[in-house]
Every structure is written in structure tokens, then in C-alpha cells.
Structure 1
Amino acid sequence: MTSNNKGLFAALGAFTIWGLLPLYWKALSSAIPLEIICHRITWSTLVTLLLLVMWGKVGKLRTVLKNRKILLRFALTSLLLSTNWLLYIWAVNNNYIVESSLGYYINPLINVLLGVLFLRERLRVPQWVAVFFAFAGVCYLTFGYGQFPWIAIVLAVTFGFYGLLRKTASIPSLEGLCLETSLLFLPAFLFLLYLTIQGEFDFVKQSIDGKILLIGTGIVTTMPLLFFGYAAQKIQLSTLGVVQYLAPTLQLSIGLFVYNEPFPREQMIGFALVWCGLLIYATEGTLIHIRKTKRRL
């Protein structure tokens, strides 16, 4: 198997895991979202630290810890990431999987806008058209459907700013995730200890399967990130950009067909406008990549 094929399978693995996460969080719905995220932070810290020790990369993390500017940046990314995680878990377990999927459909276009605002990037005409369609979709959901999709917007914006800050910090994904979860480890651990003292610690009430799932939050957090990092090195970004829509599509399908969430005509129209924008955005990016490849040849 060529490295390109391995990279593609890694990308498919990463976005499939992210797309199937609603099933995972639903299985833990007896626990409050805050306890779930504290488990996720705690076990992710341990898993990433173990991997860094196994791969001899702890030295890089020690170097980063001496840089106050980097620590401040990662304190911000850890807050953005934990907010995104908490809202997503809450949304899934309160039957907002469909709306949550919209956030991850919108996210690439939010990234484009943040690039314009903070990195002084210039948008091409098709990109402006794509953003307009996404904006029209949100407006239609707000006024036509009668409900502002705040869950989708907050998920897209928090993850967009997270990506922006991580893009400008040249630290590998594994080390970055370890640092982010480590910064939140103590408050997460203390909250779990508080729940234990109050007799509200859901972990002890869970079955063996439930306990394994809570511990496994560290693995389902770290594994797709490693797959994604490998894929980003092995396949073209244009391919990665197309594969990323697998995750929200799986989430949407789970919301509709597994948990039977409503998807009325008005909401469908809003989604369709966003999908039109994404189609323009993905097509334009693919065509530009093809042209560049032909020039090199």
C-alpha cells in the first residue's frame, strides 16, 4: 500500500471516528456533560503523556513549558477546545445532533473568514459566494425556521478560533493536545474529586462497560488526532478538505436515522443553502489544485 493510500485511510479513519462520536456520548448520557468532559480531559492527558514518553518526545514538551507566550496561547486554546467539547456533548445528549452537525459544516467557511480578518488573506470571488450561501443559510434558519442556530454557530466559531491559534503555534498535534489537556487536568481532577465527595460521581455507578467507555474517552480523543496528523503529511490538502465533510455527514445521519431528530422542511432549506456554499468552496479549491498540479508537470 502506498503512503498516499495509507494517508487516505488515516483521514477516513479520523473523520469516521469524529462522525460516530454522537453514539459514544449518547452511551454515557447518564453522566452530566461536565463529568464526561472532565473524564475526557483527565484520560486524554494520561494517554498523550504515555505516548510522548513511549516515543521519546517529552523533551519537546518541557521546552514549550518554559515559554510563557506559548503557554498563554495554549491556555486560550485549551479554553476554546474545552468549551467546544462541553457544548457538543451537551448538545448530543439533549437531542441537538442535527444542529451540531451544521456547526461542522459551517466550520471551513468560518476558517476562511478568520483568515481574512486575522491573517490578511484575500478571498477569491467563488469563496465570497460560498460564504454568502452559508450566511444565507444561517439567516434562513433564524428567520424562516424561526430559531437562531446558536449551537452550530458557537461550535463553528470556537473551533475556528482554536484552529487559528493552533495554526500560528508551530507545535505538533500530539504535544499540543497534551499541553492543552494538562493545563486543564487539575481543575478537571478536582471536579471529579468533588463529585466523589458529594456522592454524585457517576463513574462508580456505571456498569463495567460504562467505566470502560469513560476511560476510553482519552483514546477516542487522541486516536483520530493522530490519524489526522498522519494524513495531513501524506495526502494533498484538497483531498483532506473534501474528506472532512464525512464527519458532519455521519453526525447528521445519526441524528436523523438513529435518534429520529426532527428535520422539517424549513431547516432542510437552511442546510441546503449551506451545502451549496460548501459545494462551491470545495469545487473551486479542487479546480485550483488541479491547475497548479498541471503547471508543475
Structure 2
Amino acid sequence: MSGKSEESTGIFYAASAYGLWGVLPLYWHLLGDVPPLELSFHRMVWCALFGVIVCAAMGRLPIILSVFKTRKVILALTVSSILIAINWTVYIYAVASHELVEASLGYYINPLLSIALGVVLLGEKLSAMRIAAIALATLAVAFKAAGLGHFPWIALTLAVSFGFYGYVRKQTPIAAFDGLTVETLILFPVTAGALLFWGAQGTGAFTSTHITRDALLLFGGPLTALPLTLFAAGARRVRLSTLGFLQYLSPSITLAIAVLVLGERFTVTDAATFGCVWLALVLVALDGRVSFRKKARAE
């Protein structure tokens, strides 16, 4: 396969992943009668079981088992499993409470938070443009807090949990799908135990003679794993700058769905908030372009 064809294939995979992540709120909306925590636990349980089945079919179970014997890796994945569990639960709560506009803001802020984490945790240096971008993101949070009348905890929890999740996974030597399988298996005793308890109490959503809902809950496993697999396939084939551009597809789709499909309000305060974030992202993109040109000239 030629380099150009490889890049095109990678863009298709990555865009498909971000597109699926963008429309996932519609899926969670169909399960709006299931409490967010229980729905999140179902997502983790069925994702773990689906991951084990796929890994067994691909002959990768020995790799999964070896991870559990590697103390450093399993500790890192325990941390990342907690972070992604928080992220998934808060996101599902945002869908259930009609706060998707704020949730999409969190994923717009996430790349800017990643820049800040690079400075604090990895000692990376900030250019003037990136300092301005982080200042604009801070201003956006202030605008949102003023409009809400309270701290925009949904947006910031999503941004912080996913930002640190990305940092931990970046430092952990394991393939994307294998890592997701191990993460959900780590939480399996808690999540499966809770679902069994709720089922025994007669308050659980699963096997309640509601066949459509049961099928949707089961489908949450592969639906969680599919975009991650597509993303991993795309990330191997495209340039980082291209991937960085594509990542805004997901919150953009989510924002459109929140306002145009689910009927959430997009206020003047939201316009000011998102305006600050979008301007910050433009500054980051320009800074990356300037840095690339300087490097090219130096070579």
C-alpha cells in the first residue's frame, strides 16, 4: 500500500472512530431509563466480556494474562481504569441530565489540558501562543461558571479524567484493545458484583423482560470497543497533526446533536464560552504550524 493510500485509510479509520464517539449520546439516550451508574457498570462488564472473547479468538489471551503478572503495568492500568470509569459515568450522567453541551465543552478543553499536563508532568516548554490558549480556556471555564451559577464540574471532570487517562496510557506499553480489556477486567469484580446485587434485589435493569433494553445493554460492550479499535488502526497510519485535527469531530457532532436533536439550549454564555475555546484551539494549531516550519527550515 502506498504512503498516500495508507494515509487515506488511516483518516477513514480515525474519522470513523471520532464519528462514532460523537453519535454515542444517541445510544445512551435510548437507555435513559437506566440509572447512569448502573448503565456505566453495564458498559464496563459487557466490554470486558467482549474483550476476552475477541482476545481469545485472536490468540491474545496469554498476553492479557502476562499483563496481570507485570506489577508496574497492572498498577498503571488500575489507575487508568478508575479514570475511564469516572469519565464514562459522568458522560452518561451528562446525557441523562441533558447537559451534553457542557460535556462537549469538556472534550474541547481536553487538548488544552493535555498541553498543561505536558508542562507540569513532562517539563515541556510553553510558547506565548500556548500560554494565551490556556488563558483563554481558563476564561471559558469562568464564563461557563457565571452562566450556570455554579462550578462547571461536568466539563472539567470529563476533561481532567480523560486528560490524565491519556497521560497514563501514553506511559503504559500495551496495545489499545488489550489495555481496554485489562482495564475493564480490573473493575469486573466491582461492576459485575454490583449488577448481580441489583438484579437479586429486583432493581436492576437487565433481564427485566424488556428484550430491547437488554439487547441495547449487551451491545454496549462491542460499541465501546469498536471506535477504540478504529482509532488505534487510524493512529498508526496518519500524522499526529492530522489526528489532532480530527479529534474535534467528536465534540462537534455531540454539540450539534445536543442542540439540534435533543433540544438543549445554546445560550449567549455558551457562545462566549465556546468562542474562547475555539480561539484557543486555533492558537494551538497556528503554534504547531509555526513550530513545524521552523523545524523544517533548521533541517
Which residue is equivalent to 1:35?
38
Which residue is equivalent to 2:184?
181
- 1:130, 1:280 within 8 Å by CA — same for their partners in 2? yes
CA deviations 1:80-132 (Å, max 9, x no partner) are: 11011001101111100000000000000111111111111112221111111
Name the CA distance, whole Å, in 2 between partners of 1:206 and 1:271: 43
Q: CA deviation at 1:289?
A: 3.8
What's the Cα RMSD here? Answer: 1.7
Name the CA distance, whole Å, in 2 between partners of 1:217 and 1:295: 49
CA deviations 1:142-190 (Å, max 9, x no partner) are: 2355332111001100111111111111111111111100001111111
- 2:113, 2:160 within 8 Å by CA — same for their partners in 1? yes
Of the three residues 236, 258, 263, the one matched with 2:261 is 258
Alignment of 1:1-297 (within 5 A): 2-143=5-146, 146-205=149-208, 207-289=210-292, 292=295
Name the CA distance, whole Å, in 2 between partners of 1:141 and 1:255: 17
Return closer, same or farther for 1:287/1:9 CA change in 2, 3 Å cut-off. Answer: farther
Q: CA deviation at 1:262?
A: 1.3
Equivalent position SS for 1:203:
coil
- 1:47, 1:219 within 8 Å by CA — same for their partners in 2? yes
TM-score for the superposition, normalised by structure 1 = 0.95
Q: CA deviation at 1:216?
A: 0.8
Q: CA deviation at 1:195?
A: 1.1
Identity %, equivalent residues: 38
Q: CA deviation at 1:56?
A: 2.0
- 1:97, 1:255 within 8 Å by CA — same for their partners in 2? yes
Structure 2 portions without partners, runs of 5+: none
**Structure 1 moving runs of 4+ over 4 Å:** 290-296
- 2:107, 2:251 within 8 Å by CA — same for their partners in 1? yes
TM-score for the superposition, normalised by structure 2 = 0.94
After TM superposition, the structure 1 stretch with the greater mean CA deviation from structure 2, 285-294 or 216-225, is 285-294
